Structure 1
Amino acid sequence: MLVAILLVTLLGFVAIAVDVGLIYSERAQLQNGADASAIALAQTCARDAKSNACLTPSTMAGSLANQNALDGSSNVSSIQLNATAGTVTVTTGAKEAGGIADSVSLFFARAMGIPTKEVRAQSSAVWGGPIKGPTAFPLAFSICQVQNMVDGGSQVLQNKDSKSANPGCTLPSGGTVPGGFGWLAQAPGECGASIDLSIDKGGSDPTNTKTGNSAPPNCDDTLNAWANGITAGRKAIVLLPVFDKVTGTGAGAVYHLQAFAAFNVVGWKFSGQDNTTPLSFRNTAPKGSGSTATATCTGDCRGIIGEFVTYVSLADGYKLGPVGPYRATIARLTL
């Protein structure tokens, strides 16, 4: 009789050791699937909210949920996606052949009258345009330089103050001061700068900008990392702020920063820093023109060579707002 009484207790402990472990394992797999689905949908919709994957998200979510299950089978219970607000929430549940939806079958707990346990996981992600955060390189470019970015192709962002270089630009003096792009105040001891578009960072303190042809201090490691990556076949994509208004001249110029743009760097030339050899890009010649001219920066040219791209970053440390006009977006998990 004593053994019979203790057997119930022993079965309870076995249920805890085996069945609870099963539940935790299943929930971890479901959480991985929910996380993968949420962030993938956020990236997809950030690139193109009208894409098939964004309009019918269940296919992508189901595939990723299954790939993260040890038995290759999960149930996507619900997907709440709002492309306008830039939010998505994915709920996954356990799935067994012939079993109850979102539930796993238990073994020892069945003897105690608990045959199944509902197991679900949920993950949310958001996407939007960065309005506050770091830029890895302390440069701001005129809106005139990005007006033709939709056409793609490589170009040189250089330090020229010329309307002829930016035909059709309505900003004063072609939208730049001598220097062409604005060096921004760096974070202490770092190459990059801290940007806050929501309060017009750089719009009130002239010391936040300067001119010059040389690369700023503390940036050798950043430029060397770009060079090594390009040589190895990797992309060097940096989020650069774009200004749409400028007042003042020289080191006293004040830029009104409008948005971030993603620029795929393939080469650069500053005084004391020349890395234009990796170039194999074509320029922005019209499609079908047959042009094979290469974007170059030679002679007295100083600038960065590459192309503006549609880019969804997973970087941390950014405050998000509406998606900006230059296709640079941040996506991240929130749960």
Structure 2
Amino acid sequence: MRRLKHGDAERGAVAPMTAMLMVALLGMTAFAVDVAMMYSEHAQLQNGADSSAIGIAQACAKSAGSADCVSPASTATTLAGLNALDGVSNAPVATVNLATGTIDVTTQSRNASGDNHFSLVFARALGVQTADIKATAQAKFGGFSATDAIPLTFSQCEADPGFTKGLQFFPVHGTKLSDDPDYACKHQSSSGFELPGGFGWLKHPGATCTVHVDIDDPWVEANEGNDFDSTCSSAFASWEAKLKAGKPVELLIPIFETACPVKKGTGTNPCASSPYKKSFKIEAFAQISLRGWHLTGGGPTYMTSDASALQKSLGLKNSDTGLFGTFIKKVSLTEAATLGGPTTYGALGVQLTE
């Protein structure tokens, strides 16, 4: 019998071609699906690393002897797990450097069986079973060195590093009341000159109620006169609204150690190095919980019930202008500030640096 010949020489090539295309398609599927899952896993790990670093930094800022600061690995593992969809993550690296105020955390994938890897799905068909996924973060904590602040500065002698004075009245620097023996500083500055009490307004550029203060460049020009800074009207209005709503108003404020021109005293004039005729030398930052104010020269007046009671008990007159507040110890999350300054007055910052 004679064999019939087919005219199509490529007949039968569809099957092997389909097989090859299926392998390629499977590879693309594995790449698309598994890469998407790996991306999601890394995002969870990064969130875990960030929150762990911030959380440990906050704990160390409050107390270097706290459990979270002393045993950071356990804390990091717990916080990393809380940021994972499956509730499981590993934290192979969690270190605290108290000298530099830095926290370093590395998070790593961990499956439900306790294995430190991420299990792939489609890539298994290509012989790739797992992937090692990690994320790192670094946080810093410490005193403020430089930041944008409300253009107010408080005297060193008004500050309360022990947080024992409670609610206080702070007269405007340069007024008659700030020189009264009941409000004047009880000590001299390190230069031997008398240190004034109260608070003062800082000169600032522009129309916003902020001034950049850097303790590495500590001299800040003082505002001329004692009148209210009109650029701060909206700020005081917003603080009043918050206090009326029962919410706290907590401000980061600079503390001055020298006010120029100086009053009487002996020794080297500390104002000799000031580039301004009237200025303040900033030494550190503090946190104050504001409770009221009575300001003239176009300034507003508002007092909470406790501030009003203090005004009456002190026998303050309508001409006695100033602020009411309490110094507080607080750890603040911050992005724009520079850390590394003194922690004398309990104002501490925490920020994510990497």
After TM superposition, the score normalised by the length of structure 2 is 0.82
Structure 2 gaps, min length 5? 1-15, 173-177, 264-275
Matches within 5 A, 1:121-136: 121-135=135-149
CA, structure 1 residues 259+297, in 2 after alignment: closer, same or farther (shift >3 Å)? farther
Aligned pair in 2 of structure 1 residues 150, 270: CA closer, same or farther (>3 Å)? Answer: same
> Given the superposition, is the C-alpha separation of residues 95 and 195 from structure 1 closer, same or farther in structure 2, using an over 3 Å criterion?
same
Whether contact under 8 Å (1:163, 1:174) holds in the other structure is no
Taking a change above 3 Å as real, the CA distance of residues 232 and 50 of structure 1, as seen in their structure-2 partners, is: same
Which residue number corresponds to residue 26 of structure 2?
A: 11
Kindly provide the CA deviation profile for residues 88-120 of structure 1, in whole angstroms up to 9, marking residues without a partner as x: 01111111122531x111111011111000011
- Aligned partner letter, 2:303: T
Q: Which has the larger radius of gyration?
A: 2
Q: Secondary structure at the match of 2:303?
A: coil
Q: 2:210 is matched with which residue?
A: 192
Shift in Å at residue 162 of structure 1?
A: 3.5
Could you tell me which of 146, 149, 155 is aligned with 2:159?
Answer: 146
8 A contact 1:182–1:211 mirrored in 2: no
Shift of 1:295: 7.8
1:31 partner letter: Q
Q: One-letter code of the match for 2:302?
A: T
Judging changes above 3 Å, is the alpha-carbon distance between structure 1 residues 283 and 112 closer, same or farther for their aligned structure 2 residues?
farther
Residues in 1 aligned to 2:238 and 2:260: alpha-carbon distance in whole angstroms: 34
Kindly indicate whether the alpha-carbon contact (under 8 Å) linking 1:267 and 1:275 is maintained by their aligned counterparts in 2: yes
The question of whether the paired residues in 1 share the 8 Å contact of 2:240 and 2:302 is answered with no
Q: Look up the match of 1:290.
A: none
| Secondary structure, counterpart of 2:81 in structure 1 | helix
Please give the secondary structure, in 1, of the residue aligned with 2:69: helix
Match of 2:329 in 1: 310
CA drift at 1:221: 0.9
Using the alignment, how far apart are the partners of 1:245 and 1:221 within structure 2?
Answer: 29
The sequence identity of aligned pairs, in percent, is: 33
Shift of 1:200: 2.0
CA root-mean-square deviation: 2.6
Q: Quote how far apart the aligned CAs of 1:301 are.
A: 2.1
Identify which of 91, 96, 101 aligns with 2:111. Answer: 96
* Farther off after superposition, 240-249 or 115-124: 240-249
Once residues 73 and 241 of structure 1 are traced to their aligned partners in structure 2, the CA distance between those partners, rounded to angstroms, is: 44
Partner of 2:318: 299
Residue equivalent to 2:284: 259
What is the one-letter code of the residue matched to 1:175? L
What is the match of residue 20 of structure 1? 35
Flag the 1:283–1:84 CA change in 2: closer, same or farther, 3 A: farther
Distance 2:56 2:314 in 1: 35
Q: Is the 8 A contact 1:296 1:305 kept in 2?
A: no
> 1:170 corresponds to which letter in structure 2?
Q
Does the 8 A contact of 1:213 with 1:270 survive in 2? no
Amino acid at match of 2:119: S
| TM-score (norm: length of structure 1) | 0.86
Matched, 1:239 2:264: no
Per-residue deviation, residues 148-183 of structure 1 (Å, max 9, x unmatched): 653152111113124442563223775227xx3221
SS in 1 for 2:219: coil
Equivalent residues of 2:291, 2:303 under 8 A apart = no
Counterpart position of 1:176:
196
